[in-house]
Chain A
Amino acid sequence: MRVFDLSLGQMLWSRRSVFLGILLGGPVFLAAAVRLIVEMSARGFRINGATASGSAVFGLIMWLLYIRFIIPILGVFFGTSLIADEVDDKTITYLFTRPVPRRAVLLGKYLAYVACTVLLVLPSVILVFFLIVPMGGSTIAGAFPSLVTDLGMLALGLIAYGAVFALVGTRLKRPLIVGLVFAFGWEPAVMLFPGYLKRLTVAYYLQALVNHEMPQDSAASVLLTLFHEVPSVAMSLLGLAVIVAVSLWFAGRAVENREYVLEQ
């Protein structure tokens, strides 16, 4: 917990967090712009010619921005750098010459990542919700339970992606590139086709927890819908728990056995 305290302060005020805070402002800005345009025009928000409710638009934003982009990106940028940042800054020596097992240092930093990213993402989602949902006849009260589920699902996504990319960060050289390829290459590709490979992705389990209908915005999405095997909620939660536990265990092992040679 002491590593958590130390790391949380460092993470919240790092350049990385400031940049990602600005990134998370993007959906809020977009939502505000959409709301303004809808309020000024009389027609409402239209998707494929039909007027869409606020809840539907919110669901679209959740899929396209948060689930497919923001959550994996946060996982990659923060998760791969949990130890790497300390190595680059040469401050890792102070943490690894304290009576704290290296595995505990990694876990403390991982928990700080979870707290930091949840603190960044959830307010962004809540703001988008309050801006968008009241459009087109939806009510906040009616959609509120769905928001709670969405927040929980996004937090699980941050937890799972963070653990996977923490493993990538402790095991591989150039973890950022590997992480980006995994999140935006491997996962979307594997999800398109039938078979067991998709069970080796976070997206497979996470997308099963999403309340909102998947958007049909491309041929890839149509393929995805055709071959979409949806695990149950229980199976998804179990799958994510296993991914997190296994990833963190192997990441901890890597950190304990690795020698960190700092250039003078």
Chain B
Amino acid sequence: MIPPPIVAVVSADHLSKWYGQVIGLNDVSVVVPPGVTGLLGPNGAGKSTFMKLITGQLKPSKGAINVLGEPIWQNPALYFRIGFCPEQDAFYERMTGLEWVTALMRLNGVSDTDAAAKARRAIETVDLVDAADKKIGAYSKGMRQRIKMAQALAHEPELLILDEPLGGMDPIARRKTIRMIKDLGRAGRSVIVSSHILHEIESMTANILLINQGRIVAEGNVHQIRDLIDEHPHTVYIKADQTRALAREFLSQDDVLSLKFEDDAVVVQTAKPDAFYARLTDLAASGELGGIHEVTSPDDNLQAVFQYLVKS
């Protein structure tokens, strides 16, 4: 029996987008296959522009973009099949998490009862049941990220588009979200997830698109890229209760290259991000050095890799 042809979830054909004199995306032709795909690039690379084009928020200046086989611009019916988790931290703050997700579900044409049920299931998936009836205005950054994910997932879309979904999450939530994304891929859903952190993308998928200065610089297997990034130090910003105790712990490991304190956070440079994140997750889970509230990573080291890729 001949298997059905693989349909691209996103196909861009000589896609360009400019804002006046500024080029956001420059002649991009790419096919995103089903499964989990990472979109990796530094800030200002064109990730958000690409995300906005594939979610129909922007119209191409030139070229074409199809999502799930159809043009997305001015095609609202396609949103039955797409779930989008935007990067911006914006909500109807007066509503509870459950109310908000339910209200957005109702916009999908679902009955009130079904909307509430689907919202609850989505909130369970993102592990936010205890806070479902609290106002979003009282949520922490990580909880806000998770409720955003819930609204994207609730209608069980074929394609999930996640714009920097792990930003501001604590290590435990980060690990759970990564696992959830991988589970979605295994269950046959397609996910496009953007990040400026290679390690995050790598933990979710081997299939990546590398974007820089509005162009797709590379696409395919992440392991080839990985070898390059390991040559460059990886910076991690950690907000925690006991920064000094954490710092003492980090300094006892030989992969930590440097360390400094900023307000109530510690900023670490490490040569082995894999091992570092694994250790950090264990520390967060055990709680032996207090609570770890936020883990983020600027992309300055990635910039050097991109420059290297462009030259080569």
A and B pair up: yes
Residues of A bordering B, CB below 8 Å: 2-3, 5-6, 9-10, 13, 89-91, 93-102, 256, 259-262, 264
- Set of chain B residues within 8 Å of A6, measured between Cβ atoms: 92, 103, 106-107
**Is B151 touching A94 in the complex (CB atoms < 8 A)?**
yes
The interface-forming segment of B55-63, B244-252, B256-264, B268-276 is B55-63
**Is B90 touching A97 in the complex (CB atoms < 8 A)?**
no
- Set of chain A residues within 8 Å of B78, measured between Cβ atoms: 99
Which range holds the interface residue count of chain B? Answer: 20 to 34
A134 to chain B, nearest CB (A): 40
Cβ-closest chain A residue relative to B81: A99
**Is A13 touching B94 in the complex (CB atoms < 8 A)?**
yes
Cβ-closest chain B residue relative to A3: B107
Q: Could you tell me the distance between the alpha carbons of A260 and B19 in the complex, rounded to whole angstroms?
A: 12
B130 to chain A, nearest CB (A): 23
- Set of chain B residues within 8 Å of A89, measured between Cβ atoms: 90
Q: Could you tell me the distance between the alpha carbons of A128 and B262 in the complex, rounded to whole angstroms?
A: 60
Q: Could you tell me the distance between the alpha carbons of A5 and B115 in the complex, rounded to whole angstroms?
A: 14
B261 to chain A, nearest CB (A): 27
Q: Could you tell me the distance between the alpha carbons of A5 and B106 in the complex, rounded to whole angstroms?
A: 10
Cβ-closest chain A residue relative to B151: A94
B146 to chain A, nearest CB (A): 15
A2 to chain B, nearest CB (A): 5
Closest 9 CB pairs of A and B: A90-B90, A98-B107, A99-B79, A2-B106, A97-B84, A90-B88, A99-B80, A93-B86, A6-B103
**Is B74 touching A256 in the complex (CB atoms < 8 A)?**
yes
State whether the Cβ of B104 lies closer than 8 Å to any Cβ in chain A.
yes
**Is A264 touching B87 in the complex (CB atoms < 8 A)?**
yes
**Is A94 touching B104 in the complex (CB atoms < 8 A)?**
yes
- Set of chain A residues within 8 Å of B5, measured between Cβ atoms: none
State whether the Cβ of B48 lies closer than 8 Å to any Cβ in chain A.
yes
Cβ-closest chain B residue relative to A104: B76
Cβ-closest chain B residue relative to A103: B76
Q: Could you tell me the distance between the alpha carbons of A175 and B117 in the complex, rounded to whole angstroms?
A: 40
